[in-house]
Structure 1
Amino acid sequence: MKTTKQLICLLLAGVTLFSACSKDDNETPVGAPAIEGLEVGANNNKIAHPGNDLHIEAQITAAANIKDVVLEIHPENGSGWEVNTTYTEGFAGLKNAEFHKHIDVPADAAVGDYHGHLKVTDQNGRVTEAEFELKVEADPTLPSVTGFEVGYGNDLHVEATVAAPNKIAQIVVEVHGNDFEKEVVYTDAAMVGQTTYNLHKHVDVAAAPAGHYHVHLKVVDQAGKENEFEEHFDKP
């Protein structure tokens, strides 16, 4: 009798364990977030310049929805320029998002080797991190821009003073946001080959829906060097 009871208990325990395992097998765990296509610097050259913008771009996916995105940059050794920024606007609650930021590099940023981290946390608390190396270099021959202004009226007004010691090859204006993107390349005879130029353009954005937009101004010189700057505007 005792042996029979023990056998029944073992059988019941096996059924319970099988049921638990079957239940777990039917529940597919949600994967961690993914970071793909990370680009750091112009043409992914992983170089930043004091007093300019640093372009960082990546595609983010999170089956459990994004909670936040954190960007960290710190010097490899000693002290220097540091970044530690948490982004939620435009990311929180989404399954897919494009991380496309232009980070201001201070004019007094110490040159040297830096290390970066792009971290995505989903709403289940899972974290995915992509690391990158970055070099801060001074280059006085890079194209530069002052007085960069944008404004929306009947169209998008773009204005800036451009300087390029190696002479201007082309100027590119890109507008993106709210699933709208437009790029215009300017190679006017009045600007190509010049070391300074007062840019004053009007871009047709009538097809863009109401919302917040980023405007990127990229200057490419005749030595193949380029520099990019960012502004924003709202379309009512």
Structure 2
Amino acid sequence: MKTRFLFSTLLAASLLFVACDNDDDAPAKPEVTIHELGDGDNHGDDHTAYVGGSLHMDIEILAEGKIDYVQIIIHPEGDLHKSLFEHEEWELDTIFKGDGITGLKNLDFHKDLEISEEAEAGHYHFDVKVVDMEGNSASDEAELELLVMPL
């Protein structure tokens, strides 16, 4: 009888120990959703912006592991675009980190970016990548068309 009681007690303690294991506490990877992307003057959402103007973006970020940084990349798509001034493709690759971003779990990332006057009108690819403080990352992407500014 004592053996059966001792075995039951050890079994219960083992199950309790396994159930309390913290390996499953790793935060989920971030979630990123582009809600608006368009002309900065109108806070548009038609995935177009003007060369020499600004690009409005509204992106929802959820990061259990707390945001480390947000990276925005815009690069040409399809045919090669050549800058009128430097004969190179215009691209944008910028990182947002620090006050108002780093350490947050939830963020409505609402920014306007300047589009260089050296950019060529055409089709571009827009990427947003979020990396949390645990090293997890997630991204979202969209098509973007840069237009010539109307006179």
Q: TM-score, normalised by structure 1?
A: 0.48
Q: Distance in 2 between matches of 1:45 and 1:37?
A: 12
**In structure 2, what residue type is equivalent to 1:61?**
L
Q: Distance in 2 between matches of 1:107 and 1:27?
A: 49
1:119 aligns with 2:120: no
Q: Cα 1:136–1:26, aligned 2, differ >3 Å: closer, same or farther?
A: closer
**Corresponding residue for 1:58?**
59
Contact 2:49 2:146 in 1 (8 A): yes
Q: Distance in 1 between matches of 2:16 and 2:75?
A: 50
Task: Say which SS state the counterpart of residue 41 (structure 1) adopts.
Answer: strand
* Larger Rg over CA atoms: 1
Task: Say which SS state the counterpart of residue 24 (structure 2) adopts.
Answer: coil
Task: Say which SS state the counterpart of residue 19 (structure 2) adopts.
Answer: helix
1:22 Cα deviation from its structure 2 partner:
3.3
Task: Say which SS state the counterpart of residue 131 (structure 1) adopts.
Answer: strand
Q: How does 1:186-197 map to 2 (within 5 A)?
A: none
Q: TM-score, normalised by structure 2?
A: 0.73
Aligned residue-pair number: 128
**Corresponding residue for 1:85?**
94
**Larger fraction in strand:** 1
Higher relative contact order (CA 8 A, sep 6+): 2
Q: Distance in 1 between matches of 2:26 and 2:37?
A: 32
Q: Distance in 1 between matches of 2:117 and 2:34?
A: 28
Contact 2:34 2:57 in 1 (8 A): no
Q: Distance in 2 between matches of 1:106 and 1:126?
A: 31
**In structure 2, what residue type is equivalent to 1:53?**
S
Specify every segment of 5 or more residues in structure 1 that has no aligned partner in the other structure, as ranges: 1-14, 142-236
Task: Say which SS state the counterpart of residue 44 (structure 1) adopts.
Answer: coil
Q: Which string of whole-angstrom CA distances, capped at 9 and with x for unpartnered residues, describes residues 152-198 of structure 1?
A: xxxxxxxxxxxxxxxxxxxxxxxxxxxxxxxxxxxxxxxxxxxxxxx
Aligned match of 1:29 in 26, 29, 33?
26
Q: Which string of whole-angstrom CA distances, capped at 9 and with x for unpartnered residues, describes residues 91-139 of structure 1?
A: 1111122211111111231111100110100011000100111011114
**In structure 1, what residue type is equivalent to 2:112?**
H
**Corresponding residue for 1:159?**
none
Contact 2:37 2:47 in 1 (8 A): yes
Aligned match of 1:104 in 105, 114, 123?
114
Q: Distance in 2 between matches of 1:102 and 1:26?
A: 40
**In structure 2, what residue type is equivalent to 1:94?**
L
Superposition misfits of 4+ residues, deviation over 4 angstroms:
17-21, 23-26
**In structure 1, what residue type is equivalent to 2:138?**
T
**Corresponding residue for 2:104?**
94
